[in-house]
Amino acid sequence: MSTTKYIFVTGGVSSSLGKGIIAASLAKLLQARGYRVTIQKLDPYINIDPGTLNPYEHGECYVTQDGAETDLDLGHYERFLNVATSQANNVTTGRIYQSVIQKERRGEFLGKTVQVVPHITNEIKSRIQKLGKTGDYDIVITEIGGTVGDIESLPYIEAVRQLKWELGDDNALVIHLTLIPFLKAAGELKTKPTQHSVKTLMESGVNADILVCRTEHHISMDIRRKLALFCNVKQEAVIESIDASTIYDVPNLMLAEGLDTITLSKLKLSDATPPNLEHWNGFIKRLKNPKSEVQIGLIGKYVELQDSYKSILESLIHAGAENEVKVKVISIHSEHIDKTNIAESLKGLHGIIVAPGFGERGVEGKIEAVRYARENELPYFGICLGMQMAVIEYARNVLNLEGANSSEMNADTPYSVIDLMDEQKSITNKGGTMRLGAWKCNLKKNSIVEQVYNSETIEERHRHRYEYNDEYRDQFEAAGLIATGTNPDTGLVEIIEIPTHPWFVGVQYHPEYKSTVANPHPLFVAFVKAALDHSENE
């Protein structure tokens, strides 16, 4: 008998309804009642992981502590729950097939025909139960990517059907997230797409236990009754999920709708302890009552898609609330800026972030933005590629090393101040081969970062192939660009600062992956504070 309870979240009618936010919000409520909860995402595409995907495909690639390149929903899980996720929390179809095929080659199915059912479905089931079997969780929530009815989703839905049957109704339930569209011309909310979607699920032998209905207008009792009757669920299991002004409102909205109580009652778990959301609500209060506003420029080349820089945007929200200031983010496309328009492009900003990225496109605009921030005492925060850009800018414009560059952008640069890491030189495969996950870093005494972290050693998550070239370190330091964070084992420079500038910090790692509601990241908090100081001194 399993003691871990399993919740499956499927989606219907449309993609982008926010399954990740619903899963994270329910998890938050259950956690706030004292349950140990984790969330897992199953992605039906064939890439082994999203590390090889352009951000335009599915948004940013999130990186876990143990170095998994994952779907951005894992970022929501961590930001809501403040519990680290791992490799086991994100599985793709590619990964499932890869393990089944490897087993076949090892002879583990010797004599048998290897098939989608049972071999692929068994592998999916074992991936789902792997987290439960650690004994670390009372409840595992599994979000199935895609929309029911998709060809790619079929083996996952079949695995859910089998698991539900094996585990029994008290131990597993299905939440189906759908859309209730509002037809303006008719002035009505329409339930038909949801009825069809629930039927599609039923054709695969899966009944939805709870319906979460995304809607722009409140759902009346009549509509709830109709949905319950035609979708085979109890009326109290029809949960309205109305558009919210911030994703951080969703746990409270779900609480008001009773999503947690219906879940607990179906899983025969106690709801005696009310959820303790004191800290969470303190955050919401600060978020909604800012005392002032700062404008931060986010300079990158994927700015057309909000999801490309999801974790950075969320980290700024956390840091804004912490400082009781509204952070207005102005996205600036790095390909649209050059020497002639830089002052105009950055006008009115109180701080800038140069975003992570890969490849040559848009790089010169980023370097121009760094120069402007450095010369005009504008708070500067460079993340990963943004740190590398700051190093290149300093080399070109302060050290006068003409043509200095990263060997990623120009293999023939006369001054490769950013260069391929030694361990990367023999690597040819692109997937999962960057320097990934958490690495230690020692901070220099009396640096900005030592004060910000209030610690001598930190651990942050990475995703890169290129690094600060140590051969130039003496030149940089003599000219005022100081290395203030280094890896204790390799000496790799992870952080640079300009001590004579009000706030100029570049980090080779990604602090945005570690900012949560419970623990806003200290670097983002300090950067927003610096922007606030800048705005007050204008």
How far apart are alpha carbons 375 and 531 in whole angstroms?
Answer: 16
Q: Per CB under 6 A, does 357 bind ligand GLN?
A: yes
Residue 370: closest CA among 409, 400, 408, 396: 396
Q: Tell me the three state secondary structure of residue 382.
A: strand
Q: At what angle do helices 250-257 and 278-288 cross, to 10 degrees?
A: 120
Instruction: Kindly name the residue from 213, 231, 384, 441 that is annotated as catalytic.
Output: 384
Tell which one of 45, 109, 230, 358 touches ligand GLN (CB under 6 A). 358
- Pick the stretch among 80-88, 113-121, 310-318, 459-467 that binds ligand GLN (CB under 6 A): 459-467
| Cβ 325 vs Cβ 293: under 8 Å | yes
Find the shortest distance in angstroms from Cβ 193 to ligand GLN. Answer: 39
The nearest distance, CB 164 to ligand GLN, in angstroms, is 40
Does position 177 interact with ligand GLN (CB under 6 A)? The reply is: no
Stretch that binds ligand GLN, among 152-160, 437-445, 446-454, 464-472 (CB under 6 A): 464-472
> C-beta of 318: minimal distance to ligand GLN in Å?
21
Single-letter amino acid, residue 160: V
Catalytic member of 441, 512, 521, 534: 512
392 is a contact residue toward ligand GLN (CB under 6 A): no
Instruction: State the nearest-atom distance from the C-beta of 334 to ligand GLN, in Å.
Output: 13
Cα angle, residue 9 at apex, residues 5 and 10 outer, rounded to 5°: 145
Tokens of 62: 């999130």
Q: What is the distance between the alpha carbons of residues 279 and 518, in angstroms, rounded to a whole number?
A: 7
Looking at the Cβ atoms of 79 and 463, the one nearer to ligand GLN is 463
CB 242 within 8 A of CB 182: no
Which of 415, 439, 466, 513 binds ligand GLN (CB under 6 A)? It is 466
Nearer to ligand GLN, 155 or 356 (CB): 356
From the CB of 499, what's the least distance to ligand GLN, in Å? 24
Please state the separation of Cα 194 from the chain's center in Å. 28
Report in angstroms how near the CB of residue 116 gets to ligand GLN at its nearest: 36
Contact window for ligand GLN (CB under 6 A) among 189-197, 320-328, 350-358, 449-457: 350-358
Closest distance to ligand GLN from the beta carbon of 466 (Å): 3
Our finding on whether 356 is near ligand GLN (CB under 6 A) is: yes
- Which residues, in sequence order, are CB contacts of 362 under 8 Å at separation 6+? 300, 301, 333, 334, 335
Quick check: helix, strand or coil at residue 203?
Answer: helix
Window contacting ligand GLN (CB under 6 A); options: 48-56, 276-284, 457-465, 518-526: 457-465
325-346 in b/e form (b: 16+ CB < 10 A) is bbbebebbebeebeeeebeebb
Note whether 382 binds ligand GLN by CB under 6 A: no
- Tell me: does residue 465 bind ligand GLN (CB under 6 A): yes
Told to check if 463 binds ligand GLN by CB under 6 A, we report yes
Spatial distance between the Cα atoms of 321 and 53, rounded to a whole number of angstroms: 32
Angle at 367 between CA 363 and CA 372, to 5 degrees: 145
Cα gap 202→214, rounded to integer Å: 20
List all residues 6 or more positions away from 261 whose beta carbon is below 8 Å from its beta carbon: 271
> Any catalytic annotation for residue 166?
no
Asked whether position 385 contacts ligand GLN by CB under 6 A, the answer is: yes
Nearer Cβ to ligand GLN, position 466 or 503?
466
Between CA 240 and CA 385 the distance in angstroms is 42
What is the C-alpha separation between 142 and 429, in angstroms, rounded?
30
Least distance to ligand GLN, CB of residue 421, Å = 8
> With binding defined as CB under 6 A, does residue 384 bind ligand GLN?
yes
The answer to whether 534 is a known catalytic residue is no
Could you say which of 73, 408, 419, 497 contacts ligand GLN (CB under 6 A)? 408
Examine residue 464 and tell whether it contacts ligand GLN (CB under 6 A): yes
Task: Give 54's contacts (C-beta < 8 A, 6+ positions apart).
Answer: none
Residues recognised as catalytic: 384, 510, 512
Binding-site ranges for ligand GLN (CB under 6 A):
356-358, 384-385, 408, 463-466
